[in-house]
């Protein structure tokens, strides 16, 4: 087993394609495929499952990837310490529901720990896709929430996909509204107070189950309902239409300005936000750094 073979596996996972990985590694596709097959033969496992539509990590491959990342990171540290080599390009990806604090932590991670070369990915996406991304190791970490309503279904689904859920924090629900919205002046609001205002939520595509919703109380009907696909659009509609959305209440004025504010929602419910990871992987150094920044920001 050679160090460059480990780097090859990491690059293929990052690219999701052998052809693209070969291009970035400046080697031919047959050379890359041969190196990986030789590694699989030596290890006695199948790292990548090959189908007519592409490749994906096997269960054994997911476990191997965690160790490979750690070995490559340590090798890079040794080379930089004793040979003054240029740092290798860093890799890290996270998939998250539409949370501003996830972006804040991502920014701080790059500011404090980004080297001269890196390839980082932040996917604000749908709940189902977060689970798929982490399951297939397209992302190391996923960030999503559970509540009394969806907890049993979500945790069972994560278990079936070999994913672990780790609690980041619990919060009472809030609404986000424009600072000019009449509701912004209230110390707290009820669901009854919201009836005449447009409710904004994130659409979940073909997996539009109530259990996948990013907002609690999704089963309660609303006279005015708008679904969007991104956070910027949602914030613009909050301002333009005096709408509201229900979330954790954690918002950063540094990134989001002061036009949107949180107001407590006086309902008996708790939101538990956590991060998910594949059971068979070991977190990379950048994943650990990101989690540290995430926890610092939340605190």
The Cα 266–Cα 99 span in angstroms is 21
The pLDDT score that the predictor gives to residue 254 is: 62
**What mean pLDDT comes out for the span 99-105?**
92
The pLDDT score that the predictor gives to residue 170 is: 94
Q: Judge whether 91 and 14 are in contact, CB under 8 Å.
A: yes
Q: Is the pLDDT of residue 130 over 70?
A: yes
- DSSP H stretches of helix in the chain: 3-15, 18-25, 29-43, 59-83, 100-113, 127-135, 151-160, 231-241, 253-256, 285-298
Strands 174-178 and 244-247, bridge-based pairing: antiparallel
* Whole-model pTM over 0.85: no
**Topology annotation, domain 170-272:** D-Maltodextrin-Binding Protein; domain 2 (3.40.190)
Q: Is the pLDDT of residue 85 over 80?
A: no
Strands 174-178 and 271-278, bridge-based pairing: unpaired
The pLDDT score that the predictor gives to residue 136 is: 83
- Tell me the two tokens of residue 18: 């052998």
The pLDDT score that the predictor gives to residue 61 is: 86
Domain residue spans of the chain: 1-88, 170-272
The pLDDT score that the predictor gives to residue 86 is: 58
The Cα 117–Cα 114 span in angstroms is 8
**What mean pLDDT comes out for the span 217-235?**
92
The CATH number for 1-88, chosen from 1.10.10.60, 1.10.10.10, 3.20.20.370, 3.60.15.10, is 1.10.10.10
């Amino acid at each position: 087993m050679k160090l460059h073979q480990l780097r090859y596996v990491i690059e293929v996972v990052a690219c999701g394609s052998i052809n693209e990985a070969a291009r970035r590694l400046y080697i031919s596709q047959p050379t890359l495929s041969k190196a990986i097959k030789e590694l699989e033969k030596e290890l006695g496992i199948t790292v990548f499952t090959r189908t007519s539509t592409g490749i994906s990590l096997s269960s054994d491959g997911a476990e191997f990837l965690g160790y490979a990342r750690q070995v490559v990171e340590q090798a890079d540290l040794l080379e930089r310490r004793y040979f003054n080599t240029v740092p290798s390009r860093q890799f890290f990806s996270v998939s998250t529901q539409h949370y501003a604090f996830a972006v804040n932590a991502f920014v701080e991670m790059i500011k404090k720990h980004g080297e001269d070369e890196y390839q980082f990915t932040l996917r604000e996406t749908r709940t189902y896709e977060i689970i798929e991304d982490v399951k297939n190791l397209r992302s190391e970490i996923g960030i999503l929430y559970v509540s009394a309503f969806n907890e049993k279904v979500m945790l069972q689904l994560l278990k079936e996909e070999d994913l672990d859920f780790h609690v980041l924090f619990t919060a009472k629900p809030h609404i986000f509204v424009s600072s000019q919205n009449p509701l912004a002046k209230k110390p707290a609001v009820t669901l009854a107070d919201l009836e005449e205002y447009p409710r904004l939520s994130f659409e979940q595509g073909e997996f539009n189950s109530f259990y996948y919703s990013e907002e609690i109380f999704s089963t309660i009907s609303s006279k005015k309902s708008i679904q969007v696909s991104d956070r910027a659009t949602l914030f613009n509609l909050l301002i333009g239409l005096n709408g509201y959305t229900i979330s954790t209440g954690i918002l950063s004025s540094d990134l989001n300005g002061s036009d949107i504010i949180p107001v407590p929602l006086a309902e008996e419910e708790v939101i538990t936000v956590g991060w998910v990871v594949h059971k068979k992987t070991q977190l990379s150094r950048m994943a650990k750094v990101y989690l540290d920044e995430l926890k610092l920001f939340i605190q």
